[in-house]
Structure 1
């Protein structure tokens, strides 16, 4: 099996888990604040990573001083990305979130192909414009007013390629478990402090109601699926990897309809199609 195929298999497993991320998070946020949801999820994922690091003897990798610059930058960008996503999910639907975050493939193309040194092809440019058109359909509701949650998540999508770039660079020095464990250890106290300052005091009953959903987010989404992401990122390009996430918005819209009774609006259904088509065109191989 080729490294490229291994990366694709990791992405399929990732997609199955990630499609539930906005659904589980939104349910948890019905009981506790967005930052507390993120903080508690980080607690569970930290336990997960510490156990994995201990069993695989990964703590020795933290002695590699040359990795710390990229580790710190990766931690900063990933944490910022998820803060924006969790805050944004308070004001939008699970379906909208999953489609908008997929726009990271467009931003990856802009950063690494348009403004970067990667080769650019006409078909990729067409894909970028089609994708942007789909994004506008999703972002602008019938009354032509922007949802602040959608904007926060779109800002997260713009940050995602930067986080992926440093993650890919850091993966040369450290394992996925070390990168994610280090990031979680740094992020947890910061997010807890932010939640304590900016969000209402927690109610024990509400915490218990949110606990099962936060546990799943922490272990499966911020834990296991992020290892899949790092391993896939280590085996293929950032732009292709982002585009392979195209299946997630479709799965999320379907699961959100079943679990949250979120009926997709017509503009969402229309907007998803060009976003997915654009993502496909953006990742077509460039002919020599």
Structure 2
């Protein structure tokens, strides 16, 4: 059992590492947020579809209720991604990624409405620690400050991400994780078709290598692994453990684009990371 837990935890953390590449890629792809997400969804659809065909994964949706649920989940995923990338553009990789990790707080409070689980006092405590960490990250509480705007967009993105995870959780035992991600990518792509008419795709050709990376590493591999992990962890537990993502993101940003985090980022990030360690140990039970 312990080995199984370790394997599942490693799988979740590896998926989190891949998803962490979204910070650097989202910040530095020279396209508007909605254009990046549209291209990302199209490319990810192709990659995941090929994988599903090779693995002979059943892609059929079993009921109309599931079909509607997939659309709702895809809508939340679209809103989450677009607002997250706006947050990255307004602030920086560290603040953008750390602000989105208010979503464990939101998940902990919302999960009892989506399942039979009761509100766990420990999750509330850990959620408060995450909130304190985010508070420390905020440089200046002024709406004229782009960093604060980025953090607010990040928090709204977190709310959408929590709702997406909670709506898709009920399907993970009945459907393959890759199949769920494929249908989500189709919904995202369809919802963002209007971007073809109003967004700026001038730099598209030069940005294709980075778009392929964000579609393959971050989305097709990372997000699929994280959806798969919901078979073994509650949404709240998976959310809190994956709060290590901003730490990975900050390290990646430092190594590849020399973005040096501030002292407050270290303190706030340290608090967020502490919740990951605590929940990783607790989730063994």
Whether these two folds match at TM > 0.5 is: yes
CA distance in 2 between partners of 1:118 and 1:283 (Å): 19
Q: What is the CA–CA distance in structure 2 between the aligned matches of 1:116 and 1:179, rounded to whole Å?
A: 19
Say if 1:255 and 1:216 are closer, same or farther in 2 by CA, change over 3 A.
same
Query: Per-residue deviation at 1:121?
Result: 5.5
Change (3 A) 1:64 1:175: farther
2:78 alignment partner in structure 1: 79
Partner of 1:47 in structure 2? 46
For residues 279 and 145 of structure 1, do their structure 2 counterparts lie closer, same or farther at Cα, with a shift above 3 Å needed? farther
Report the equivalent of 1:207. Answer: 204
* Larger relative contact order (Cα-Cα within 8 Å, sequence gap ≥ 6): 1
Contact 2:105–2:128 (CA<8 Å) still a contact in 1?
no
Per the normalisation by structure 1, the TM-score is 0.86
Match of 2:268 in 1: 271
Q: Specify the SS of the correspondent of 1:267.
A: helix
SS at match of 1:173: coil
Do the aligned partners of 1:168 and 1:233 also contact (CA within 8 Å) in 2? yes
- d(CA) in 1 for partners of 2:121, 2:190: 46
The answer to which of 45-54 and 183-192 deviates more is: 183-192
1:246 aligns with 2:260: no
- Please list, as runs of the form range in 1=range in 2, the aligned pairs for 1:34-183 lying within 5 A after superposition: 34-62=33-61, 64-112=63-111, 118-120=117-119, 123-138=122-137, 140-141=138-139, 143-146=140-143, 147-183=148-184
Aligned in 2, Cα 1:282/1:60: closer, same or farther, shift over 3 Å? closer
Q: 1:188 to 1:59 in 2, by over 3 A?
A: same
The answer on whether the counterparts of 2:17 and 2:222 sit within 8 Å (CA) in structure 1 is no
For 2:234, the equivalent position in structure 1 comes to 237
Count of paired positions: 279
Which blocks of at least 5 consecutive residues in structure 1 are unaligned?
none
Report the aligned-residue RMSD: 2.6
The alignment's TM-score, normalised by the length of structure 2, stands at: 0.87
How far apart are 1:242 and its partner, in Å? 1.0
Match in the other structure for 2:9? 8
